[in-house]
Amino acid sequence: MSNILAFDLGASSGRALLGRLVDGKIEVEELHRFSNDPVQVGNRLHWDILRLYHEIKLALMKAKNQGIDLQSMAIDSWGVDFGFIGKDGELIGNPYHYRDRHTEDAMEGLFAEIPASDIFARTGIQFQPFNTLFQLYALKKANSPLLKEGKRLLMIPDLLRYFLTGEMHNEFSNATTTQLFNPTTGTWDSELLRLLDLPESWFGEVLKPGSKAGNLQPSVCEELRIPSIPVYAVAEHDTGSAVAAVPATEKSFAYLSCGTWSLMGTEVDKPVIHELAQKLNFTNEGGVAETYRLLKNIMGLWILQECRREWERAGKSYSFPELVQLAGEAQALSVFIDPDNSLFLPPGDMPARITQYCLRTGQQAPETTGEIVRCILESLALKYRYAFELTELLSGQTFNGLHMVGGGIQNTLLCQWTANAIGKPVWAGPSEGSAIGNLIVQWIAQGEFADIWEARKAIRDSFPMTIYEPEERKAWSDAYDRFCVLTGIQV
């Protein structure tokens, strides 16, 4: 029996999922789960990268102690963040967290030097203040010593893979999130690097998902007393892995990868790079099997997670099922926020910010816990409709429904309200989409599946799917009209 390991690192937690193929079906087992907590040091927010590496080693130890013979492993994580390797081969500093405030004015500053239209035409990536491009620009403006001492730039999965193998590679799906990769040439954009005065030597060979990226190096094997195994580069941006796991039956499909962030879009053969795509702030990120993911970032369940943290600080502890129950008891479709308003990006007192937003838009602010949670979830569902319809417009396709994957599908209210908002069925599953996508790309590389479509059929056969049919269509259609007016989004 072939055992492979997928490390899926999310913005709030990580997990090691063991995968097996049994009679053509996929079996998964959670081997290890751990929190992923950013660390505030002074005015800076960092990822605890060495803690994450420690957790990866703990999972490998657990596999050994349980007598599990591993054939391979791979890592996926969030995009945009990175670390620098110095001339001695060691990590320089702790990687910044994308929610750190050092990029607050970077977009405006860079656009004064390079027009936004030029950047989009060269990369096809939507503008977010935390993109790698703007992080590097902010570091340059701050005269950061990282830029003087750094010799190679590695994205988070690249960095962890380097610790394990001693080999430095950049992977395609995560490279595209930097806003420094040119999808037309299939390489790092040398002209953009020149304009930014960034050395090309920082950016290495770009591996396609499914490439072997090394083996566990002797020092790791000796420390853990385990045999060396291959380490693969999968779709290392977790959304790329999640989309690989969408159990679609046809090439034209819409997906929503739902977690701390929500990513809505479709899979396309070629990036969609034109003026309307830029205006609507859509992105073209690399996927598996020579595809791109035309998608839009939506703030996601981050707002709810931050509310929960704030309530805990005030001595009120709620489980997520309890919050969902309270939301179900609150008044329907009464107050809305735009989840993507910049007010909700940084950590902090999210209930107070929701109140601030509602008062600013002439609404009565939600007061109870249930009302706040309902406001968040309904607003997300309505924003999903907005992104769903724009995805149809930009891709020139009409979708019969929406595939939802990721941990957010455990929120049954959100799934049902999403179906209500878009007026079409929602097919929810699997919940561990990113980890399962990680696994199937390893299996494709090893010849266990012929291609992504055979793997997607195995996912359909292996994991349950819940279907949500739309309800209360007129009420939700009317609510969408009010939502668009209150939030000021362009339809």
Closest CA to 423 of 378, 367, 385: 385
What helix, strand, coil percent values describe the chain, rounded to 5?
45, 20, 35
Closest CA to 262 of 467, 8, 10: 10
The residue from 76, 81, 158, 238 that is catalytic is: 238
Q: What is the DSSP letter of 463?
A: S
Whether 238 is a known active-site residue: answer yes
Beta partners for 75? Answer: 7
Question: In the structure encoding, which two tokens stand for residue 470, read together?
Answer: 């739309």
Question: In the structure encoding, which two tokens stand for residue 105, read together?
Answer: 């004015």
> What gap in Å lies between CA 386 and CA 139, rounded to an integer?
35
Q: Could you give phi then psi for residue 200, rounded to 5 degrees?
A: -65, -25
CB 428 within 8 A of CB 408: no
Report the length, in residues, of the chain. Answer: 491
> What gap in Å lies between CA 20 and CA 68, rounded to an integer?
11
Q: What angle do CA 71, 442, 174 make, to 5 degrees?
A: 130
Strands 262-268 and 283-286: unpaired
Name the H helices within 320-432: 320-329, 350-360, 369-395, 412-422
Give the DSSP H/E element, type plus range, for residue 213. strand 211-215
Residues 6+ apart with CB under 8 A from 160: 7, 49, 52, 53, 56, 75, 77
Catalytic residue IDs? 238
